[in-house]
Each structure stands twice: as structure tokens, then as C-alpha cells.
Chains A and B, each alone.
Chain A
Amino acid sequence: MTIHPRPDTVDVETSGRAERPVPFVAAVGLVKRFFGVTVLDGVSLSLREGEVRALLGENGAGKSTVINLLSGVFPADSGAIEVDGTPVALDGPRAADKAGISVIRQELSLFPDLSVAEAIFAGHLPITSLRLVDWKRVQQAARDALAQLGISSFDVRRPVASLSIAQQQMVEIARALTRKSRLVIMDEPTASLSPEEVGHLGEIIGRLSREGVAILYVSHRLDEIRAFCQTYTVLRDGRMVEEGDVAGVGNAQLIRAMAGRDVKIGGRRQAAAPGDIVLAVRNLAARASGRAPARVTNISFDLRAGEIVGLAGIVGAGRSETASMIFGIDPIGAGEIHLGGQRFSPSSTTEAIRAGLGLVPEDRKGQAILPERAVLENFALAGACQPRYRWLNDLTAEKLLFSGFIERLGIRASSFHAPIATLSGGNQQKVILSRWIARRPKVLIVDEPTRGIDIGAKEDVHALMRDIASQGVAVLVISSDLPELMALSDRIVVLREGRSVFETAGASASAEELMTKMTRQAD
């Protein structure tokens, strides 16, 4: 099955890029306003066949709007989108689909309960002469499409929900392939992938590109952009501020273009004198539930007051699961946790919180925020301040306390009563961190502290974590972003397949070494 009618003239590697006369897709002078606020102001970009273009910009820079315009979610107020040199009206996702444009969204839009084969063909199921679904063909074609991506290992009858995020992404890409898409937009595709999976995605992007598929790669991660993309476009405040070839630009320049100012990244932490051991984890293992074997089998580490310890590991190594056991979400199967020298086995989050623990979960939207509730309420959710009366809220004290955080962290919200969903991701994260810091915890666990937040806010969050550590809080950080982990941690503990396999001082760690320990198969 040939999925891409690839014009034989295209050869990105050898033909001079500038000479390609008509780009496959070109957006010219896109303008979009919402309620009178201009979110996109004259943005133009184009992709030739086989071109992989990075779209960069902080949150709120207009990247999502560009994606939505190109995929027909809503129309532009002015400007045009041209496909093969002719203006097209993308007046709905179906029109975009017809024009050969598909999107792989950050929050995968698949149908969790459908089988892989059904998900690949949803909305376009082939039918037999009796107008019934041709299941044989569906499954065969689904297998073919996955084989194109170099995946032959999984059963296309499995429900999508049983796949890992990376596999679900492959299913989405397979869907785009069967749609004969010529432009695939990938929105933060690597947000929840392990380094290995990122590598695989990179190979697939390379393969698609060689076959003539254009890719618009939206990401914050500069190393990936460097590895996967040929060209880039930077948006800031709804305008295009810079574009060019990735090969000819340095990271510092890209960051400056995005932020409009110099941002210092990767400043390592000043090693502080560590305090007493607050949390000691010894041979911790999870309890197997049902048929699934326990992911965590043997984890040991210490966490001292005033120290930041990073947990490194690929997805599935057992980082979040370890946090869940310490925080009383999941039962402990074997091993011990000691908190302040006492044996500690919390049976609920309430108990863990009372004992002085806090947890900022990985999934902010699903597990941390109350989207429709006021910022202040979100802040006070875990009991930020001791109320004067046991049963009543103490709004005055809450406002006073929260004002301090607003000022200190530069939280931007229109009022105490604005729903937290109206804030940017970075500001939401600051509110969630304040929720715990206000309780003056002994131990704060932060899972993926800066996922999906812009670079400026990232720095603020890092500074905040260093700050609370210097006030004596023991901080446990989980992050898939190695530079972040290295910049933040006093010590790094590497987990692999449910075991703690390596420990090093943050200051002397190298990314290569950590990556090796995270992935090495045999000891």
C-alpha cells in the first residue's frame, strides 16, 4: 500500500531549499482576534514538501492559534492559507483533512475505548458492497500503516487506552498516514515521552520527511528542534519575530527571540550544607494490583532538610509510583519509609499531608487544579492557613497570605476570584506550588515542575524551589527534563525498571552518564 504519492522532484537534502518555487502550504498574514484582543497579528509561514519546520514561542505567543487556523478549527479574521499555491477556505476540521492537513495534539484526541484499528479509521471506515464496515480491510490497513512506522509489535484490536502515550502517538501518526496527509502538525509531541521514545519519534519524522510529508513541529525543547527540524519560525505576542534555518542559529538566540530578553538557563545550584535526614526510603516496593506486576520493586534513597533530590528515569521507571506511595495514594508493598526517624506508612493523602508532606502532581489539569473555582480557593484547597474557627474559612487571612505569594512569585491573575482555568499554565503552577508552600511542609514532592509552562515562568518556578529548599524544606523533584534536573538537584537518584540504580551529586552529573544509567539494560 503506497500511502504517499511522493512527487519525484522532491529531495530536500540535495535541492537548494530557496529554489522550491511553490510551497505546499503557505499561511500569509494571518490575523485572529478574540473579543477584540488580537492574538495573532499578521503571521506568515510556509512549508515545502518534506520540510520539517519548528514553531517556537512561549505560551500565549500564538502557536495554538496558528495550529487551529491551519486545521480549520476556526477561521482567520484576515489573511489566507494557500495549499499548492491556491487559497483554500479551511472552514472546518474536515476541510483541513481534505486539504491533507492533520494535527497530532498534545492531549491526544483519540478514542480511548476504540480499538487501534478503529481509531486509525474513525470517521472514514471502509465499507463493503453491503454498506457494512469492512473489518478485515480496516485491520489489514491499520497493520500496514503501523508497519510503515516500523511498528509491527502490537495487536490492532487492542483498545487505545491500553497503549502507552508514545504508542498512542504512533497510532495518531498512522491515522494521518492513512488520511494521506501532506502536512502533519505535531503539538508538543514529546511532552510525555521517554528519551528513547523521543529518539524513535525523531526517526519517524525523518522518514515522513523523506517521503515528502511536511511537518510543523511545535515544541519548547531546543535540543529536539535542533535534531529534527530544518527550519524554524519564532512567534512572540502573536507576531512572527524570527525565522530561518536551524543550522544557522544558536540556542541563546532562539531563547532570546522567544522571550524577548536574555534568560539564564541551566544555572547550577549552590551546594548548601545538608541538614538532617527527613525522609528515608528503604527497599520500597509497590503492591501488585490485579494481574499487573508492581512497577516499583526496590527503591532506596535519603532526603535531607534543605536539600533538593532529583529522581531521574525514563517513563515507566517508577518515579511517580514512588511518589504515590510516599504520599499515601498507593499502598506500600514492601520496604519502609521513615519520616523524621519514625516509621511512616500513610494510608491516605490526608494522613501524609498531616505528617507534613506535600505533592505537586504531574498532571496539573487532571489532578491539581479545580478549573472553575477561584484562584484563591485553589490556593487554600489544602488548608493554607489555620483558620480562626475550626469550621469556617478565614478569607481575610487567606487573602493576606496569598497576596504575599502573588507578589513574591509574580502570579498574574485578574482577581482573587478569577477561575484558575483563565490563568496561563505557568501561573497555575505557581498557585499550586503556593498551595503547598503555605503549609510549610517538611517534604515537598514536585512531579514535572515545569511541564507545559513557558521559559520565563520556568525560571521563576526553579527559583522558587531553590528558595524553599534554602528555608529548610526537603524537596524531591521528578522530571523528564534532564537539564532541569541537573540544574535544580543537589543529588540525583536514577531509577530504572523500578529500582534505584545510581546516585550522584547534581553538580558533577553529566547528561550522558545519567542517560546511560537510565537506559542501560544489563548491570
Chain B
Amino acid sequence: MSSIPLTTTHRAQTFTVLGRIAPLIFLLALVLLFAVLQPRFLMPLNLFNILRQVSIYGIIAVGMTFVILARGIDLSVGSLVAMSGLVAAVIAKGGIEGRFLLSADGTGCGWPLAVIAAVAAGTLAGFLQGLAVARLSVPAFVVTLGGMTVFRGVALTIGNGGPISGFDDAFGWWGRGMIGPVPVPVILFLVVAFLAHIVLTQTRFGRAVYAVGSNPDAARLSGINTTRVTTAVYAVIGFCSGLGGFVLASRLNSAEAVAGSGYELTAIAAVVIGGTSLRGGTGSIIGTVIGALLTGVLLNGLVILNVSPYVQQILVGLIIVAAVAFDSFVKRQSR
């Protein structure tokens, strides 16, 4: 037998470890940079502000991690956020004036039903897209590009083009409330991320998601129902988008059809910055959480430094590419 030692060298090992924590290093570097340039950045109020901003697309990015791990992509999440926000708003309001009425006294159906409806709408929409991807073999890019338009149209139809706003306090608590010093959406984000982490690392379904993304043929030949797994990951991101839509409506005290536009790119950026491969099969929720934080820190830091919103866009784009380039450089070195 070959006796060439296959042990990795010291240098490669260093880079392997570095590769795993590259996004974290990048995040800390950014925090440090902003803290030095503007001490106000590190104030607890600002930090919680960042977390609150991150939480909604963070929830969506968690769902996006499932999809990308399974070698898919979902461009429809922004539209799903708008659609499910409007669904939540309609239920919370008890109907739409002049069109249909759910509760006769006009007091609305309360937030629990609103959450359930929003999440159900998102999950169903995701499930349908998943079916199209898995059973009809239409590329995910195409299905969700179509879905992006379709669900935006559904949102416009529900709201008849206009916003629905003004909810009760119980509804508003989910987006604006606090538990101690911590905003409620942040807690929701962390809970969703924690559950997703457990699902991906500890369950058979999680393993199947990685398997389908790594080698769909091998997964199928090993008895994994790849159709079901593919459908399921789109249902998962639909669920996350539904929840995100509800929280956004609650936070803004208003739901409208233009809400959530651009979320698909922010979510994909967070996932990719977090080290998940667009080729599927490798990545983690922890990475995605770091990726989402990094994106949030970046946006907030630039605002605090009074960088013009126009220039901000340029910088954000460049830094996203730089972060991923750094990640893949480190991974190449570890080989």
C-alpha cells in the first residue's frame, strides 16, 4: 500500500481552522474598524439596533441556508414576505374594508391567527414552488423567478395596491417589543436559527439536505427520497419568509405590497458570506448567522459614519465580494 503520509501539514491545518472561522474574523475586523472610526458604534443601543435590523432577513437567510445547501436557490422570498405580511394584516384587521369581512364586530381576529395565517401562506407558497422544482424538473432559478412576480402580484391583489396599517399592541409587540433589553425579533431570529441548527446537524432530514446538495444521484441510490427533500426545503424557506413577513408588518405597524423587496439578495449574501457553498453540500447555520450579522454591521456602520447612501451601495457590493473571495482563498490554501 502507498505509504506516502496523507496527513495535512501544519500550514494546511492552520488554514483549515482559519477557513472555518474566516467569516467570523471578517465580522470582528469590521466591528473593530467601525468602533475605532466611530466609538458611538459600540453603544448597546446601536448594537441592539443592528440586531433588530438583522433579525428579519436573518430569519429568511436561515431558510435560504436549507435551500442553498440542497443545491437550490430561492428568489421569491422578498415577494413572499410582502404577501404573508399582507395576509397577517388582513387577518389581524378582521378583513378589508368594503371587500370582505372576517369578524363582524370589526375588532379583528388577533395576532395568533394572523401569525398562523402568514406562516401557512408562506409555507404553502414555498411548498408549491418546491413541487415545481422537484417534480417538474424546472430549474429553481426559473421557478422562483416566476414566483417572485406571482407572489408580488398576489400581495398587490390582497392589499389592492395600498398599505394596511394600524394594528393593536399585542400584534405590534412581536416586531417592536422588548424582553429585558433584547428586542423580540432578535429573540425570534435566534430561536429560529437554533432550531434550524438542530435540524441540520442532528436529524436525518438535515443529513438528507446535505446529501442531496452534495451528490443527488448518490443520495437517491442510497434510498433518500430526493423529491421529498427538495420540496421540503422550499417549504422551510416559505415558512421562514411567512414568519419574516409577519414580524416586518408588526415592526412597521403596516403591511404593503412593496415590502421586502431586495430581501432575496440580502439573504443569499448572508448565506454565502457565511461560507455556505452555492454548489450545495457544505455550510452551516452558524455561518449564516455570522453572515447576516456581518451584513447588518456593514450597513449600520456606514450609516453611522455618514457615508452617502449612494456610496454605501457600492461599498456593500464590494465588501460582499471581498468577504467571499477571502473565504475561498483560505479554503484553497487548506487543501
Q: Which residues of A contact B (CB under 8 A)?
A: 35-37, 39, 58-61, 237-238, 259, 327, 329, 348-350, 353-354, 359, 361, 366-373, 377, 380-383, 387, 391-393, 412, 414, 422, 424, 435, 454, 456-457
CB distance A382 to B11 under 8 Å? Answer: no
**A372 and B19 alpha carbons, distance in the complex (Å):** 14
Contacts of B217 in A (CB 8 A): 366-367
Give complex CA distance A361, B221 in Å. Answer: 8
Q: Are B9 and A383 in contact (CB under 8 A)?
A: no
Residues of chain B having any CB pair with chain A under 8 Å: 1-12, 202-207, 210-211, 214-215, 217-225, 277, 281-282
A372 and B282 in contact, given A59-B2, A392-B202 (Cβ under 8 angstroms): yes
Does A377 lie within 8 Å of B210, measured CB to CB? yes
Give the Cβ gap from B70 to chain A, nearest Cβ, in Å. 12
Q: A35-B12, A238-B4 are in contact. List 16 more A-B contacts (CB 8 A).
A: A60-B4, A367-B217, A367-B221, A369-B215, A369-B218, A370-B210, A370-B211, A371-B215, A373-B214, A373-B281, A377-B207, A381-B211, A391-B204, A393-B202, A422-B6, A454-B2
Q: In the complex, which residue of chain B has the Cβ closest to the Cβ of A40?
A: B4
Nearest residue (CB) in A for B11 is A35
Residue pair B1, A349 in contact (C-beta under 8 Å): no
CB distance from B311 to the nearest CB of A (A): 38
State the CA gap A380–B202 with chains docked (Å).
Answer: 13
Contact A373 B210 (CB under 8 A): yes
Chain B residues with Cβ under 8 A from A366's Cβ? 215, 217-218
Nearest residue, chain A, Cβ from B283: A372
17 contacts between A and B (CB under 8 A): A35-B9, A61-B2, A237-B3, A327-B221, A349-B221, A350-B225, A354-B223, A371-B214, A372-B214, A377-B210, A381-B219, A391-B204, A392-B203, A414-B7, A422-B6, A424-B6, A454-B1
Q: Which of B8, B204, B215, B223 contacts A349 (CB 8 A)?
A: B223
Main secondary structure of the interface of A (DSSP, over half): loop
Alpha-carbon gap, A382 to B221, bound state (A): 9
Give the distance to chain A from B118, nearest Cβ to Cβ, in Å.
26
Partner of A368, one of B5, B206, B221, B224: B221
Contact A393 B214 (CB under 8 A): no
- B12 partner residues in chain A, CB cutoff 8 A: 35
Contact among B1, B202, B222, B282 for A381, CB-based, below 8 A: B222
Interfacial chain B residues near A412, Cβ < 8 Å: 6
Minimum CB–CB distance for B135 against chain A, Å: 14
Q: Are B222 and A435 in contact (CB under 8 A)?
A: yes
**Contact flag A380-B11 (CB < 8 Å), given A61-B2, A370-B214, A412-B6:** no
Report whether B221 and A359 are in contact in the complex, using a CB–CB cutoff of 8 Å: yes
Q: Which residue of A lies closest to B280 (CB)?
A: A372
Which of the residues B2, B11, B219, B224 comes within 8 Å of A237, measured between beta carbons?
Answer: B2
Q: Once the chains are docked, how many angstroms separate the CA of A454 from the CA of B3?
A: 12
Question: Among the listed B203, B221, B281, B282, which residue makes an inter-chain contact with A329, where contact means beta carbons less than 8 Å apart?
Answer: B221
Question: How far in angstroms is the closest Cβ of chain A from B294?
Answer: 23
**Contacts of A382 on B, CB cut-off 8 Å?**
222-223
Q: Which residues of B contact A393 (CB under 8 A)?
A: 202-204, 206-207
Closest chain A residue to B333 by CB distance?
A35
Instruction: Name the distance in Å between A368's Cβ and chain B's nearest Cβ.
Output: 5
Residue of B nearest to A351 (CB): B223
Given contacts A367-B218, A370-B219, contact A391 B4 (CB under 8 A): no
Residues of A within 8 A of B221 (CB): 327, 329, 349, 359, 361, 367-368
Q: How far is the CB of B304 from chain A (nearest CB, A)?
A: 39
Residue of B nearest to A38 (CB): B4
> Which B residues touch A348, using CB under 8 A?
225
What distance in Å separates the Cβ of B195 from its nearest Cβ neighbour in chain A? 13
Cβ distance B210 to chain A, nearest Cβ, rounded Å: 6
Q: Determine whether the beta carbon of A237 is less than 8 Å from that of B4.
A: yes
Nearest CB to that of A413 among chain B residues? B6
In the complex, which residue of chain B has the Cβ closest to the Cβ of A357?
B223
Instruction: Give chain B nearest CB distance to A222 CB in angstroms.
Output: 18
Considering the complex, give the chain A residue whose CB is closest to the CB of B8.
Answer: A35
Cα–Cα, bound, A361→B6 (Å): 26
Kindly list chain B residues whose C-beta atoms are within 8 Å of the C-beta of A349. Answer: 220-223
Q: Which residue of B lies closest to A373 (CB)?
A: B214
- Complex: chain B residue closest to A352, CB-CB: B223
List the B residue with the shortest CB-CB distance to A348: B225
In the assembly, what is the distance between CA of A238 and CA of B207, in Å? 38
Return B291 CB to nearest CB of chain A, in Å. 19
Please judge, given known A-B contacts A367-B217, A377-B207, A377-B210, whether A372 and B281 are in contact too, CB under 8 Å.
yes
Minimal Cβ-Cβ distance residue in B for A439: B223
Taking the nearest CB of chain A, how far is it from the CB of B322, in angstroms? Answer: 24
**A-B pairs with lowest CB-CB distance, top 4:** A60-B2, A370-B214, A353-B223, A382-B222
Evaluate whether A457 and B210 lie within 8 angstroms (CB atoms) in the complex, with A367-B221, A391-B205 already known: no
Whole-angstrom CA separation of A383 from B219 in the bound complex: 11
A331 to chain B, nearest CB (A): 15
Chain A residues with CB under 8 A of B207: 377, 380-381, 393
Chain A residue at minimal CB-CB distance from B10: A36
* A37 CA / B10 CA spacing, docked (Å): 11
Q: Which of A353, A366, A372, A457 has the most CB of B within 10 A?
A: A372
Q: A58 to chain B: which residues have CB within 8 Å?
A: 1-2
Q: What CA separation (Å) do A369 and B215 show in the bound complex?
A: 7
Cβ-neighbour of A392 out of B204, B223, B225, B282 (below 8 A): B204
For residue A35, which residues in chain B have a CB less than 8 angstroms away from its CB?
8-9, 11-12
Chain B residue contacts of A327, Cβ below 8 A:
221
CA gap between A424 and B211 in the complex, in Å: 20
Q: Distance (Å) between the CB of A36 and the closest chain B CB?
A: 5
Residues of A within 8 A of B224 (CB): 350, 381
Name which residue of chain A comes closest to B335, CB basis: A35
Given contacts A35-B11, A37-B4, A457-B1, contact A387 B222 (CB under 8 A): no
The chain B residue with its CB closest to the CB of A457 is B1
**In the bound complex, CA of A393 to CA of B209 (Å):** 13
CA distance A359 to B218 in the complex (A): 11
Separation in Å of the A37 CB from the closest CB of chain B?
6
Are A370 and B218 within 8 A (Cβ)?
yes
Determine the residue in chain A with the shortest Cβ distance to B212. A370
Q: How far is the CA of A369 from the CA of B210 in the complex (A)?
A: 12
| Other-chain residue from A381, A414, A456 in contact with B218 (beta carbon distance below 8 A) | A381
CB distance from A131 to the nearest CB of B (A): 35
Q: How far is the CA of A60 from the CA of B6 in the complex (A)?
A: 10
List residues of chain A with CB within 8 A of the CB of B202.
Answer: 392-393
Cβ B203 vs Cβ A383 within 8 A? no
